[in-house]
Amino acid sequence: MSKAVGDKKVASKNPRKKGKLSYNDTKSDFLTQCRPKGLFDVVKYLTDSQIEDVKNIGFGGLLNLNIHHLPAQMIPWLVQRFNGKSRLLSIDERTRFVITADDICDVFMIPRTDREVLVFKQNDSLDPIVEFKKKVGIDGTSSVGTLKSKLMGEFKERGDDFKRMFVLYSLSTFLTPTANRTIDFSCFKSLLDVDAIAHFDWCSLVLEILGRAVDNFNKKSTTHISGCILALQIIYLHRLKWQGVVEPFDLPLIQDWTTQRIRKRVKEERSAGEFGQGEWVEDVFPIYRKTKPVVEEKIRSSTDGGMDERGKLGKEHVEKEKSENFDESSRIIKFVLPEGQPTDDEIEKLLKMGVYKACLLLKRDMEVIRHVHMERLRFEMQREQANTSSSPDDEFFSSAKLHEYIDEVVKNFQKMKERNDPTHNEPMPSFDLLTPDTESPVVEEQPTYEANIDDDVMQGMDDSHIDEVIQGQVQHAEQVVGSSGTICKVLVKF
């Protein structure tokens, strides 16, 4: 767009009026609010105790950030193919997939839970924010630059205030970046109780802000975009098998990338004429959800967001659900039940008798655990075979050793079903399937010695005489067979 000055036309200096960019535009033509360099610098200055604090609140994955600048050449092409509302990334007519909060967790390994991040509402008191800013020495300003100076300079102590400052800076500059370089306090309500920070779903927040930012970019003629664009780029780079090579699956995915690696990959893909030219890695992502069982501590929190009646900086009440047999030092492992598996309540309604109910619970739990570990085994096979053209499923399920293991599991499970009597004293069958080289002892069938006594001889004998005859036959058997040291059964027929 241009405007007339006298008889001349002068190009507008406002970059927002230049219109949409293609993937051929240069980095200088495109501006993103996602600024990894600030967080990259802060992480390098953290003390050992502060690093431990970051891990304790669930943000330890960000310590693996090795990217200081975000190469922007791919971003216009990428965001134009991402629908912020449906979360669908459509590379072409055949290749498309939905990006979820679990994918964000793969990239950064920040908390991914079912608990929504709390935000300040219009009628909430802002006193907790004012008090915090005054306490850490940033009152009178809301600049992220001031917060960065505090984290890299005088603020070297660990503790609750440091944890809040680190999360605020990470959100405001990188995960949910602001356009005007100010500190975003909208989620400060979730930082009031630092012990609860790790229990909020920060991954869903990052994805929500990213979706909104992409939608705004696609609707308007602008060269500016907000949201954590780097997350979208890392997800794309890992899903595409570029030149037949699969990127590592180690979490967080961000640890495998540097600014130089991304620039090299972008340059190579552009040389192919267009991005997205390669095979796509399927049935692997999201990695975190497929490879980790749900390990969680049952908590119940107040709904007031941690503020008392005066609106002061308070503690959110987090309580463990306890029972008489609950051991506070133990960890509770929970598996999400697949479709078709009965819940505990459904089993309780179906069967009230203790033995049969326990057997049904055992059967259900064994099937669920088998399902979880088979998924994990399948994933590991796909991970090892990703760079080959052979099918991991064919190789895995054609293994003779696997069939031996499965046969042994079935055999032992049948034995367990037969021994559903709790008073049964026989030992439970062994489930040690990882020692296939050891063979079970062979129990030889004992030989039988038959002694036949004429029924006519038995007639007229009293019980004492009959016992003497039988005992005599037993002694004869011992002389015949017992001399060899062989144990035998004696069967007396008459």
> How far is the C-alpha of 222 from the C-alpha of 421, rounded, in Å?
73
Residue 327 has pLDDT above 50, yes or no: no
145-154 tens-digit pLDDT: 999 999 988 7
Q: Give the confidence band of 188 by pLDDT, cuts at 50, 70, 90.
A: very high
Q: Residue 135 in contact with residue 219, Cβ under 8 Å?
A: no
Residue 462 has pLDDT above 70, yes or no: no
pLDDT of residue 159: 92
Helix (H, G, I), strand (E, B) or coil at 171: helix
Residue 484 has pLDDT above 60, yes or no: no
Beta-carbon contacts of residue 310 (< 8 Å; ≥ 6 apart): 127
> How far is the C-alpha of 412 from the C-alpha of 440, rounded, in Å?
13
> How far is the C-alpha of 177 from the C-alpha of 183, rounded, in Å?
9
Q: Does the CA dihedral 187-193-194-197 come out positive or negative? A: negative
Q: What single-letter DSSP state applies at residue 66?
A: B
Average pLDDT of the segment spanning 435-441: 47
Residue 7 has pLDDT above 50, yes or no: no
> How far is the C-alpha of 194 from the C-alpha of 315, rounded, in Å?
8
Average pLDDT of the segment spanning 450-471: 62
pLDDT of residue 205: 97
Top-confidence residue, 123 or 351: 123
Residue 157 has pLDDT above 90, yes or no: no
**What percent of the chain lies above the pLDDT cut of 70?**
61
**pTM value surpassing 0.75:** no
Residue 180 has pLDDT above 70, yes or no: yes
219-269 tens-digit pLDDT: 877 778 889 999 999 999 999 888 888 888 889 999 999 999 999 999 999
pLDDT of residue 436: 46
Structure tokens at 482: 């017992």
Residue 386 has pLDDT above 70, yes or no: no
Tell me, rounded to whole angstroms, the distance of Cα 314 from its chain centroid. Answer: 31
Top-confidence residue, 306 or 394: 394
| Mean pLDDT for all residues in the chain | 74
Partners of 493 in beta bridges: 452
Which residue reads 């559903």 in tokens?
420
Average pLDDT of the segment spanning 32-36: 90
69-119 tens-digit pLDDT: 988 889 889 999 999 999 999 988 788 889 999 999 999 999 999 999 999
